[in-house]
């Protein structure tokens, strides 16, 4: 008896439009382009400042043009999306342990003289910080860094 | 409430069809009936040739996963009334080849799962006479969530990466690797990392997160994969910075 022929289900090129969650994922991934744009924009500005007042004025005229403003507004929207979505995902990707955690004995594989063997080690367990706290601490960090930059610029 | 609902079910006969077709059936709409009860009704009363997998009917065997209205679901735990007035579309799990009707070929997953060695690894085997490996509730809590996986493969059906890159080892396999890595009795982290540090391992994942959303057992494979990436990245940095003996 020959093996049955299976039907391979094709993946549509527009798979990312099939679910709202897929679309949000693709938008989140796209947002990195706009974050990179802001980095480039900032560098152009710094170079312009470095080259003197005339150059800086030219930069400001360019930055004030409608096209650049539209690009920056879109980039700002994507940057906010980037920040909010990645901050929200952090507690899922990272275990942050608080004061309730403790070290316990565990096993670890090591290579001794070319031979793999089990050795005693310790790992930290328990005391996982609640997701809300991890997310909130990131916003606090963002606020502190932003405040420092504002202070630096206004000096 | 209407007394019947229309089910639109994928049919595929490998001996006759070149592509799947859709058949429509009217089944009684009862408050306590799951999608699976509807399929059983079709098989018992309408068309005995309908093929699908099921076993326990209580969300623990992981056999009856199908796409219901495009969402991967355990059909025993998904009620018909939630889709009233219908019709409700029932398809085989996406991303897997269809064998017949609603039955998919799961060989790929069965081959991938043992690659991550989802069992306790250690070389100082303690016999029953020596006693058992003891563990505190806090230590159990570290991995308990990941041990709830029932291998239903809904996460593979939800994962667009697995659909596009079938070599990706996939959400459930990595979640189970994490389950054993986090077990204080286990010493096999390095062996698993050797498998998962590859491109088809954790780096295939782009954190879509849909695996976690569809998981009927709240395992959070997406979280497990990202935590594994952190481990793999740390390993790479260590390998770069430290001499071999110190690792």
Please give the mean pLDDT across all residues of chain A.
91
- Identify the segments of chain B with pLDDT beneath 50: none
- Report CB contact under 8 Å: A104, B227: no
- Report CB contact under 8 Å: B100, A4: yes
**Residue whose C-alpha is closest to residue B174's, from B129, B102, B231:** B231
- pLDDT tens figures, A78-106: 999 999 999 999 999 999 998 888 888 88
Q: Which residues of A touch B (CB under 8 A)?
A: 4-9, 11, 15-16, 18-19, 21-22, 25, 29, 89, 92-95, 102, 104-109, 116-119, 123, 125-126
Burial level of B55, CB count in 10 A (0-12/13-18/19+)? exposed
- Compute the distance between CA of residue B109 and CA of residue B97 in angstroms, rounded to an integer: 12
Closest-CA residue of chain A to B99: A6
Confidence at residue A117, expressed as pLDDT on a 0 to 100 scale = 77
**Probe site for chain A from B98, B137, B184 (most A CB atoms < 10 A):** B184
B165 min Cα distance to partner chain A (Å): 10
Residue A54 has pLDDT above 60, yes or no: yes
- pLDDT tens figures, A12-32: 999 999 999 999 999 999 999
- Report CB contact under 8 Å: B123, A116: yes
| Tokens (6 digits) for B229 | 């990436």
- pLDDT tens figures, A134-155: 999 999 999 999 999 999 989 8
Contacts of B228 in chain A (CB under 8 A): none
Instruction: Give this prediction's pTM.
Output: 0.91
Please give the mean pLDDT across all residues of chain B.
93
- ipTM, 2 dp: 0.87
Confidence at residue A113, expressed as pLDDT on a 0 to 100 scale = 73
- Compute the distance between CA of residue B89 and CA of residue B87 in angstroms, rounded to an integer: 7
- Report CB contact under 8 Å: A126, B19: no
Strand duo B88-91 + B4-11: pairing: parallel
């Amino acid at each position: 008896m020959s093996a049955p022929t299976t039907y391979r289900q094709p993946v549509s090129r527009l798979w990312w439009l099939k679910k709202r969650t897929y679309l949000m994922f693709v938008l989140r991934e796209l947002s990195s382009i706009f974050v990179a744009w802001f980095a480039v924009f900032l560098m152009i500005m710094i170079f312009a400042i470095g080259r003197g007042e005339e150059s800086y004025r030219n930069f400001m005229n360019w930055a004030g043009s409608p096209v650049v403003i539209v690009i920056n507004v879109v980039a700002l929207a994507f940057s906010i999306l980037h920040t909010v979505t990645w901050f929200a995902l952090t507690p899922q990707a990272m275990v942050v342990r608080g004061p309730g955690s403790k070290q316990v004995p565990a096993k670890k594989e090591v290579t001794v003289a070319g031979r793999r063997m089990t050795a005693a080690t310790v790992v930290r367990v328990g005391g996982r910080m609640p997701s809300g706290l991890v997310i909130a601490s990131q916003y606090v960090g963002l606020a502190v860094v932003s405040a420092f930059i504002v202070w630096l610029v206004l000096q | 409430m209407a007394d019947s609902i229309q089910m639109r079910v994928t049919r595929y006969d490998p001996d006759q069809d070149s592509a799947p077709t859709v058949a429509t059936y009217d089944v009684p709409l009862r408050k306590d009936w799951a999608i699976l009860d509807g399929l059983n009704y079709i098989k018992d009363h309408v068309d005995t040739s309908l093929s699908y997998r099921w076993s326990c009917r209580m969300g623990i065997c992981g056999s009856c996963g199908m796409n219901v209205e495009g969402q991967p679901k355990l059909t025993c735990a998904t009620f018909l009334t939630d889709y009233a007035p219908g019709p409700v579309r029932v398809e085989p799990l996406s991303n897997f080849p269809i064998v017949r009707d609603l039955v998919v070929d799961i060989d790929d997953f069965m081959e991938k799962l043992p690659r991550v060695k989802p069992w306790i690894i250690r070389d100082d085997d303690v016999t029953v006479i020596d006693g058992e490996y003891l563990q505190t509730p806090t230590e159990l809590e570290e991995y308990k969530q990941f041990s709830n996986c029932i291998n239903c493969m809904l996460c593979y059906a939800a994962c667009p990466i697995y659909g596009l890159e079938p070599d990706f080892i996939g959400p459930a396999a990595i979640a189970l690797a994490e389950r054993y890595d986090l077990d204080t009795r286990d010493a096999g982290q390095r062996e698993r990392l050797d498998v998962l540090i590859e491109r088809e391992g954790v780096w295939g994942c782009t954190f879509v997160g849909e695996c976690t959303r569809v998981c009927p057992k709240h395992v959070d494979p997406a979280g497990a994969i990202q935590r594994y990436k952190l481990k793999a990245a740390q390993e790479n940095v260590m390998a770069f910075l430290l001499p071999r003996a110190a690792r």
